[in-house]
Amino acid sequence: MRSLVFYTIAVCVFMFLSSSCGGGRTAGTFSGQGDTLDIRHASYLQVVEYPGYTVVNLRNPWDTLKVLHTYILMPREKVYDSDSLPVGTVVRVPLQRSVVYTSVHCALLEELGALSSIVGVCDSQYIYRPAVREQLRLGGIRHVGSGIFPDVERIIELQPEALLLSPFENSGGYGTVGRLEVPIVECADYMETSALGRAEWMRFYGRLYGCASRADSLFAAVEHDYLMWKHRAQGCSERPTVFTDLPAGSSAWYVPGGNSTIGGMYADAGARYLFADNANSGSVPLSFETVYAEAKDADFWLIRYHAPVDRTYASLAMEHQAYTHFSAYRTRSMYGCNTANSTFYEEIPFHPERLLAEFAYIFHPELRDDTVLCYYKALE
């Protein structure tokens, strides 16, 4: 993570040079002073509160000397002079009608009490939250296609006040959706390289939906519990070794890079991640032979998969006999997370303390008190 000082300087220099992207009104030149929110972990987020409105700067994760987007959060009823505001996309808050592309942000908004503000979602087949699924059944929330090919006509029918979606490097824009007169909120939280950094973005989303205090309180609780588990785990004398996941069919074995969120969480959980030296923040494709050479003697092997039935030691052996040669297989030190019947992907981005507690439980038997494993469980 780059330092907060560097981030602040970069934003101050470039925020006036960047133009808004996506839908929404663009305001004019700006001068003034505000109160900067104390962002403690997020690298790509700056929130400055001025009398009557809030300015949110998103730092570009792919070019950190630039600003990805600037938003001016303006109360719904407030009349304003655009010449008195900074350059950016004006978003009327609290949002009352929004289309949310990802299940991750749907889950967070439900927890923040803003579920009624979601009128449309993408890829509804991947949403498992009961309350969201119930609204989909009742028609309170509409399915608007896939995140890659959204149904633009249906989005227009819903008359949203904002679209929440995840940006990608060199995406070339958002097609027809980007030409709508609707502000696009670029949810770049997934690019953060620390678990708490990503979770802290909930403070931005809380300000979009009129629940800033609730979001700040929730993040404070998440931060407290995460740091508590980190302190407990790192106080343990043992540093077991760990590696993760399975090959993608007959192709490469993708492992998290050493600078990925999950790689950092293994370290915070008092374990030694065997691919920590890899500087990537995303997944790294490796050959089976490379992984085996590095991880054959690892203490723990954690896998995530999506399947109608849970994986077992027997099913893994039938799938690939070579799995049985790993020490973690032989010592029965494997844990699996079946995302087909788990809310792992919906909850963990904004509740990393829950996953860290499970890692601490798995890696350090002396910490096994009343913690209940919700995501990972020992393979049978």
Decide if pLDDT at 72 tops 50. yes
Q: What per-residue confidence (pLDDT) applies to 28?
A: 38
Q: What per-residue confidence (pLDDT) applies to 182?
A: 97
Handedness of CA 310, 311, 313, 315 (dihedral sign): positive
Q: One fold for both 4-221 and 237-378?
A: yes
244 with 213: CB under 8 angstroms? no
d(CA 355, CA 211): 25
User: What is the SS3 assignment for 19?
Assistant: coil
DSSP H helices, 68-151, are 103-111, 130-138
Stretch 12-22: mean pLDDT: 37
d(CA 143, CA 123): 7
Domain assignments of the chain as residue spans, ordered by start: 4-221, 237-378
For residue 281, what pLDDT band results from cuts at 50, 70 and 90? Answer: confident
Decide if pLDDT at 309 tops 80. yes
d(CA 227, CA 238): 19
At the fourth CATH level, the homologous superfamily of domain 237-378 is Nitrogenase molybdenum iron protein domain (3.40.50.1980)
Contacts of 166 (CB under 8 A, 6+ apart): 101, 102, 147, 186, 187, 188, 190
Q: Mind giving me the DSSP string for 322-369?
A: GGGGSHHHHTT-EEEEEGGG--HHHHGGG-HHHHHHHHHHHH-GGG-S
DSSP H helices, the chain, are 4-14, 103-111, 130-138, 152-158, 175-178, 195-199, 202-208, 212-234, 261-268, 288-295, 313-319, 327-330, 344-347, 352-363
Q: Which of 15-19, 81-85, 164-168, 356-360 has the lowest mean pLDDT?
A: 15-19
Amino acid, res. 147: G
Q: Which residues pair with 253 in a beta bridge?
A: 286
Contacts of 241 (CB under 8 A, 6+ apart): 271, 272, 273, 274, 295, 297, 298, 299, 300
80 with 88: CB under 8 angstroms? no
Decide if pLDDT at 321 tops 90. yes
Report the chain's mean pLDDT, rounded to a whole number. Answer: 90
Burial of 289 (0-12, 13-18, 19+ CB in 10 A): exposed
Of residues 370 and 76, more confidently modeled:
76
Stretch 278-283: mean pLDDT: 88
Sheet architecture: strand order including 334-338: 272-273, 241-244, 300-305, 334-338, 377-378
Contacts of 221 (CB under 8 A, 6+ apart): none
Q: What per-residue confidence (pLDDT) applies to 32?
A: 57
Which residue is listed with tokens 């090919």? 149
* pTM exceeds 0.85, yes or no: yes
Stretch 247-273: mean pLDDT: 92
Taking phi over 0 as left and psi of -120 to 50 as alpha, with beta for the rest, 24 belongs to: left
Span 108-156, pLDDT tens digits? 999 999 999 999 999 999 898 999 999 999 999 999 999 999 999 999 9
Q: What per-residue confidence (pLDDT) applies to 3?
A: 42
Among 356, 377, 365, smallest CA distance to 269 is for 356
d(CA 205, CA 109): 8
Q: What per-residue confidence (pLDDT) applies to 18?
A: 36
Amino acid, res. 198: R
Decide if pLDDT at 20 tops 80. no
Decide if pLDDT at 99 tops 50. yes
CA 109 and chain centroid, separation: 13
CATH 3.40.50.1980 fits 4-221, yes or no: yes
Decide if pLDDT at 14 tops 90. no
Span 162-211, pLDDT tens digits? 999 999 887 778 889 999 999 999 999 999 989 999 999 999 999 999 99
Distances (CA, A) of 90 to 111, 156, 198: 25, 19, 24
Decide if pLDDT at 86 tops 60. yes
Decide if pLDDT at 46 tops 50. yes
Q: Read off φ and ψ for residue 5, nearest 5 degrees.
A: -65, -50
Stretch 241-255: mean pLDDT: 91
Stretch 45-71: mean pLDDT: 96
